[in-house]
Amino acid sequence: MNNRMRRRSIIVILLFAAMATAAILSVMIGPVFVHPADIVKVWLQWLSGGLLQFDIEEMNRVIVLNIRMPRVVVAMLVGMGLAASGAGMQGLFRNPMAEPYVLGMSAGAATGAAASIVLGIGAVFGVFAIPAMAFIGAIGTIFVVYSIARTDGKVPTETLLLAGIAVGFFLQAAVSFLKLIAPMDALRDVVLWLMGSFAGATWNDAALVIVPITVGIVTLLWLAQELNALQFGEETAMHLGMEVETMKRILLVAVALITAVSVSVSGIIGFVGLVIPHVARLFVGADHRIQLPVAALTGGIFLVLADTVARSIARPAEIPIGIITAAIGAPYFVYLLRRRKRSMGWW
């Protein structure tokens, strides 16, 4: 094993350790403090199916398993999915400003959620009306954008990007109209959803997102070599024998699936898919074979810690997690830009 592979392996191992630490820290912190040893005992008893028995207070067991753990798991999965999707989109567009929401999927999800809250559309889904409508809105948007951008069986990335921006602006106008006609209670619910939150996360939400996000991330990892080839341009990639248009379709489906299920359970959480891929690239370079898994792990850690801050910093109130990610992500992104410009001799 050469030095580069050894260094990358160490980084991945450290990130897994950091993820476990972040999970324990998040479960530990709250109105009721839970000792880390009790958390580990609850996990071991749960994972063993009750074969391992420990002396644990029932209240601590309920807090860990039924209240905090679902929230941590959902935040971790959403963070991993958004970060990996951001890395994939930046590779596809060869643009460091690309992110999972760039094709208007967040606006589509917001429109679906707002229509459910304000107009009651999607009531057939019962308690899942808002997540279901958000998912439908996001998936529908990517199909519309793809259809607009497709020309003679091909989808130029520039046209795809412009179509996404145009559709996104239209859907944002639709959300603004829905907020304008919404009653006060519904308006508050729409605004809170748009800022993102894991406050109501349950094991049902975790079960809903784990398969689509896992499949999406695995698909992106499978396309890592193609993303590397695409950095030299589409013509070069085609000369290397790559089916560029097929690769685009598969990648867009994977990103759409991840983004749609993520926003359906968490609302719109910004900056994760934009900033985290840059952080990963800073540590392991531009090779998507290592950048994608590092971005996914870093995104999971970041969102778990951000959610911990969101529910702890203004206790007993809770700050929407979108505010936390923006407050951390925007300044750090500016720092990354300044660092990049200095290295290129611009500043």
Give the CATH number, domain containing residue 149. Answer: 1.10.3470.10
Q: Indicate the range of 22-26, 94-98, 99-103, 224-228 predicted with least confidence.
A: 94-98
Residue 23: inside a domain, yes or no?
no
8 A C-beta contact, residue 22 and residue 305:
yes
Residue 347 lies in a domain: no
State CA 266 to chain mean position distance.
9
Lowest mean pLDDT among 2-6, 184-188, 292-296, 337-341: 337-341
**Which pLDDT band holds residue 340 (cuts at 50, 70, 90)?**
low
Tokens of 315: 């206790």
Q: Is the dihedral of CA 51, 55, 58, 59 positive or negative?
A: negative
Interval 18-71: pLDDT, tens:
999 999 999 998 888 888 888 888 888 887 877 777 777 888 888 888 889 999
- Two tokens, residue 208: 């809903």
Residue 102 lies in a domain: yes
Tokens of 86: 């951001």
Q: Is residue 32 part of a domain?
A: no
Residue range 110-126: average pLDDT?
88
Residues 151-169, mean pLDDT to the nearest whole number: 88
Residue 339 placed within a domain: no
φ and ψ at 151, to 5 degrees? -140, 120
pTM of the model: 0.91
Give a yes or no: residue 149 inside a domain.
Answer: yes
The number of folded domains in the chain is 1
Q: Indicate whether 8 belongs to any domain.
A: no
Give the integer Cα–Cα distance in Å for 304 and 68.
11
Mean pLDDT over the full length of the chain: 88
Domain interval for residue 139: 95-268
pLDDT at 154: 83
